[in-house]
């Protein structure tokens, strides 16, 4: 066995070909599942896209590194399903570019978080986690309330998502900034546009508690409240229901 190896090592081209063969096995194992992606991703006709405000919140979630402590991926293991609920379906991350599954849980998984707490709970928790969870080791993110949300780049953000396959219409892309403002200001005249362009169940309210100001807190809370709520697919899946 070693003799063969010593002989191979003396032949530059033979050795190079052998390395390519060995490395391509690993490559194939990683790439092969992608060939079946059409069968892997479940059909979910009710799957909706993130609104511009939710997308902005998602960007803040990435900027602040929340994914370093929180996963968004419930595995099919019994202990996970019993703790968090139905395991994550592929379709639920269909429009996530990049995906935020995460690989570390210093805090809990937040894949099904939407609707679990009130907006006010989230705002207080992000301002000072210890105020609502006495033993929390989560850092505070108080500046989110001080920072006005940047919305002039949202059309570009939607266009970029569209380029990688998210079905935003030209109308949605054009009105991204208005829709972000309207979603967090229920009394403004821009609400009608949000309702017309997005799902009927879109949350429209002052997420940070202040109606006439659009802050980064608005965007992040809007995003947290939609986690696990983009489609009903996992509620309708009978296999997962048996497990729960
Ligand atoms: C250093 C690790 C760490 C980071 C970074 C972190 N968290 Fe947490 N998070 C925790 C821990 C620990 C808990 C559990 C205690 C608690 O509820 O405060 C938690 C709890 C939560 C909860 C409540 C979850 C539930 O189901 O009860 C939410 C929501 C949350 N974090 C959101 C965020 C967001 C948004 C960010 C980024 C702005 C963030 N976290 C960043 C550690 C972290």
Answer yes or no: is the C-beta of 163 below 6 A from any ligand 1 atom.
no
Answer yes or no: is the C-beta of 58 below 6 A from any ligand 1 atom.
no
Answer yes or no: is the C-beta of 127 below 6 A from any ligand 1 atom.
no
Answer yes or no: is the C-beta of 62 below 6 A from any ligand 1 atom.
no
CB atoms within 10 A of CB 195: 14
Instruction: From the CA of 113, give the closest atom in ligand 1.
Output: 26
Instruction: From the CA of 144, give the closest atom in ligand 1.
Output: 38
In this structure, the residue with its CA closest to atom 9 of ligand 1 is 107
Q: What is the pLDDT along the chain (244 residues), one digit of tens a residue?
A: 789 889 999 999 999 999 999 999 999 999 998 888 888 888 899 999 999 999 999 999 999 999 999 999 999 999 999 999 999 999 999 999 999 999 999 999 999 999 999 999 999 999 999 999 999 999 999 999 999 999 999 999 999 999 999 999 999 999 999 999 999 999 999 999 999 999 888 999 999 999 889 999 999 999 999 999 999 988 776 555 554 4
Instruction: Determine the Cα–Cα distance for residues 104 and 109; give it in Å rounded to an integer.
Output: 9
Instruction: Determine the Cα–Cα distance for residues 241 and 244; give it in Å rounded to an integer.
Output: 5
Instruction: From the CA of 60, give the closest atom in ligand 1.
Output: 38
| b (16+ CB within 10 A) / e for 26-49 | eeeeeeeeeeeeeeeebebeebbb
Instruction: From the CA of 137, give the closest atom in ligand 1.
Output: 12
Answer yes or no: is the C-beta of 141 below 6 A from any ligand 1 atom.
yes
- Angular region, 76: left φ>0, alpha ψ -120 to 50, beta rest: alpha
């Amino acid at each position: 066995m070693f003799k063969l190896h010593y002989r191979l090592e003396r032949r530059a081209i033979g050795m190079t070909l052998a390395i390519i063969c060995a490395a391509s096995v690993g490559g194939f194992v990683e790439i092969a599942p992608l060939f079946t992606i059409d069968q892997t991703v479940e059909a979910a006709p009710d799957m909706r896209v993130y609104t511009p405000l939710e997308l902005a919140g998602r960007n803040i979630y990435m900027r602040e590194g929340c994914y370093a402590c929180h996963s968004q991926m419930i595995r099919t293991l019994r202990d996970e399903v019993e703790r968090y609920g139905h395991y994550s379906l592929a379709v639920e991350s269909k429009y996530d570019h990049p995906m935020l599954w995460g690989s570390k849980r210093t805090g809990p998984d937040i894949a099904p978080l939407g609707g679990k707490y009130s907006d006010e709970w989230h705002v207080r928790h992000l301002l000072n986690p210890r105020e609502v969870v006495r033993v929390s080791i989560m850092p505070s993110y108080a500046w989110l309330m001080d920072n006005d949300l940047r919305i002039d780049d949202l059309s570009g953000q939607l266009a970029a998502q569209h380029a990688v396959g998210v079905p935003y219409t030209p109308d949605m892309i054009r009105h991204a900034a208005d829709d972000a403002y309207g979603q967090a200001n229920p009394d403004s005249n821009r609400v009608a546009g949000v309702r017309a362009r997005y799902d009927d169940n879109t949350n429209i309210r002052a997420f940070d508690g202040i109606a006439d100001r659009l802050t980064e807190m608005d965007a992040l809370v809007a995003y947290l409240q939609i986690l696990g709520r983009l489609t009903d697919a996992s509620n309708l899946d009978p296999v997962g229901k048996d497990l729960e």
